[in-house]
């Protein structure tokens, strides 16, 4: 089967490489020529574990190629995926669909055979209808069907998630769409991955409902963590205690600095906007968005408290370990570290940071922060060290060396990766989330 993937970012490139690995012939398209040039040279434009090897193997096998020409890339494709960005629109928080619609226009101009056009980007309810209208208006003489197939992969574990998904959701309005999608995912079908066929609008909403629910779970446990701090309870034990209930489930109950990343913040906002447009308030999500926004700067203030309050903190130096919104990615979009760093520099605190993969993307987002070459040079001479992202490299720091390098033995662990008693036994002033 021939597949075109328009947009070769975190989702498009991973999906394209995995579909090629299933045995399909895949062309990944991107309008960013430098991305395509790098891919031709075997250099990955993003950091995702296992991706370079997967791409290389499938290019060698002749199943995966790259182009910046949409006309060339979609030629002969049975399925054309749209996997371009849908960021928050400035001003109102709605999803910016201009990239999706621009691709639909271009497909309409160049479609040279019957094909199914699949929206993999996260798009609000009704976007598929508009894509269909654009294609119909283009006057293409070829048969087409517009399908919604949202993506649920997680950065950092994207390949495993794509190849062994909890479920595949397909929103199709006709048999042509359903049949082609069945063929696309046949290898997974044989694996017994559940495939859920629904109508297109339902499929579009499922993606937002899933992300909003997960964001709610995180925000819920974060608020429980705040309460734990006030009442002397331990949020990790609360998580365990509630998570063992199958109706609740143990995942997404780790208290931390608030959710970030390229999906939850923008998708919760876009869902709020859809709910408003359809006059169907979603008050829970409103509360989640508000609580999470406030939390990120509150984490900066927590660090300032650990330094002895605003007056004492001014002129001090803090080492931030981890900048990306989660480990095993270089993605800095809406990372909590941005607000933490901003709160600290606003308070006159000097910030030095280290992240294993995210520093290049972080630099323009936090120009006042100095980047260090490794965790220990960031810590050297600092008045406190703050763990913002739980990269494995920070789970086994040489604490004696850390203490020696610090001006004062202050450790703020925003991911609860250390055990309070261990760290305190080594003489640290230790602050974590929701634990006595």
Residue reference for tokens 């182009």: 67
Angstrom distances, CA of residue 92 to CA of 65, 190, 216, 275: 38, 43, 21, 13
Comparing CB distances to ligand NAD, the nearer of 88 and 239 is 88
CB of 334 to ligand NAD, least distance (A): 11
CB of 12 to ligand NAD, least distance (A): 6
Q: Contact at 8 Å (CB) between 305 and 313?
A: no
CB of 123 to ligand NAD, least distance (A): 7
Please, which residues bridge with residue 145 across strands?
A: 116
Residues of this chain that interact with ligand NAD (CB under 6 A) are 6-12, 29-32, 35, 83-86, 99, 102-103, 121-122, 151, 153, 155, 262-263
Element (H, E) at 412: strand 410-413
Q: Contact at 8 Å (CB) between 156 and 328?
A: yes
DSSP state of 78: S
Q: Contact at 8 Å (CB) between 409 and 400?
A: no
CB of 52 to ligand NAD, least distance (A): 16
Comparing CB distances to ligand NAD, the nearer of 145 and 262 is 262
CB closest to ligand NAD, residue no: 9
CB of 98 to ligand NAD, least distance (A): 9
Comparing CB distances to ligand NAD, the nearer of 101 and 394 is 101
Structure tokens at 218: 């995180």
Residue reference for tokens 């993937």: 5
- Find all residues with CB under 8 Å of 153, minimum gap 6, and list them: 11, 14, 15, 161, 162, 165
| 27, 28, 228, 263: the active-site residue | 263
Comparing CB distances to ligand NAD, the nearer of 1 and 102 is 102
CB of 47 to ligand NAD, least distance (A): 12
- Find all residues with CB under 8 Å of 303, minimum gap 6, and list them: 318, 340, 343, 344, 349, 384, 386, 412
Comparing CB distances to ligand NAD, the nearer of 8 and 234 is 8
Could you confirm whether 263 is annotated as catalytic?
Answer: yes
Instruction: Report the distance separating Cα 271 and Cα 268, nearest Å.
Output: 5
Query: Measuring CA to CA, which residue among 386, 396, 324, 390 is closest to residue 351?
Result: 386
Comparing CB distances to ligand NAD, the nearer of 58 and 262 is 262
Comparing CB distances to ligand NAD, the nearer of 200 and 302 is 200
Instruction: Report the distance separating Cα 307 and Cα 279, nearest Å.
Output: 46
CB of 33 to ligand NAD, least distance (A): 10
Angstrom distances, CA of residue 420 to CA of 301, 372, 392, 425: 20, 27, 18, 8
CB of 110 to ligand NAD, least distance (A): 12
Comparing CB distances to ligand NAD, the nearer of 6 and 235 is 6
Residue-wise DSSP of 169-207: EEE-SSHHHHHHHHHHTHHHHHTT--EEEE-HHHHHHHH
| N residues, the chain | 436
- For the annotated catalytic residues, the residue numbers are 263
């Amino acid at each position: 089967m021939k597949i075109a993937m328009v947009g070769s970012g975190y989702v498009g490139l991973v999906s394209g490489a995995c579909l090629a690995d299933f045995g399909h012939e895949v062309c990944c398209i991107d309008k960013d020529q430098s991305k395509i040039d790098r891919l031709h040279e075997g250099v990955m434009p993003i950091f995702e574990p296992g991706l370079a090897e997967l791409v290389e193997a499938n290019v060698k096998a002749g199943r995966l190629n790259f182009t910046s020409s949409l006309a060339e890339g979609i030629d002969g494709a049975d399925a054309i995926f749209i996997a371009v960005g849908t960021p928050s629109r400035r001003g109102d928080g709605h999803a910016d669909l201009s990239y999706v619609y621009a691709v639909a226009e271009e497909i309409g101009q160049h479609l040279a055979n019957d094909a199914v056009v699949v929206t993999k980007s996260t798009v609000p309810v009704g976007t598929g209808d508009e894509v269909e209208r654009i294609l119909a208006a283009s006057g293409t003489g070829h048969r087409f069907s517009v399908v919604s197939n949202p993506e649920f992969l997680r950065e950092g574990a994207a390949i495993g998630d794509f190849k062994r998904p909890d479920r595949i959701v397909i929103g199709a309005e006709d048999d042509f769409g359903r049949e082609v999608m069945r063929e696309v995912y046949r290898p997974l079908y044989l694996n017994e991955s559940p495939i859920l066929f629904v109508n297109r609008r339902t499929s579009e909403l499922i993606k937002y409902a899933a992300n909003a629910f997960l964001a709610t779970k995180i925000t819920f446990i974060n608020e429980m963590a705040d309460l734990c701090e006030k009442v002397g309870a331990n949020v990790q034990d609360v998580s365990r205690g509630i998570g063992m209930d199958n109706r609740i489930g143990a995942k997404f109950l780790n208290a931390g600095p608030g959710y970030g990343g390229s999906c939850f913040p923008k998708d919760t906002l876009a869902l709020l906007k859809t709910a408003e447009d359809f006059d169907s308030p979603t008050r829970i999500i409103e509360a989640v968005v508000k609580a999470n926004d406030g939390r990120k700067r509150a984490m900066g203030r927590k660090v300032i408290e650990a330094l002895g309050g605003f007056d004492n903190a001014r002129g001090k130096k803090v080492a931030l370990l981890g900048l990306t919104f989660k480990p095993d990615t270089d993605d800095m979009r809406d990372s909590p570290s941005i607000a933490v760093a901003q709160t600290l520099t606003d308070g006159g605190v000097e910030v030095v940071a280290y992240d294993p993969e995210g520093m290049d993307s972080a630099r323009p987002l936090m120009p006042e922060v100095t980047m260090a070459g490794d965790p220990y040079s960031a810590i050297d001479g600092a008045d406190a060290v703050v763990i913002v992202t739980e990269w494995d490299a920070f789970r086994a720091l040489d604490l004696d060396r850390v203490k020696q390098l610090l001006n004062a033995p202050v450790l703020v662990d925003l991911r609860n990766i250390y055990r309070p008693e261990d760290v305190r036994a080594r003489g640290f002033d230790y602050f974590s989330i929701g634990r006595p």
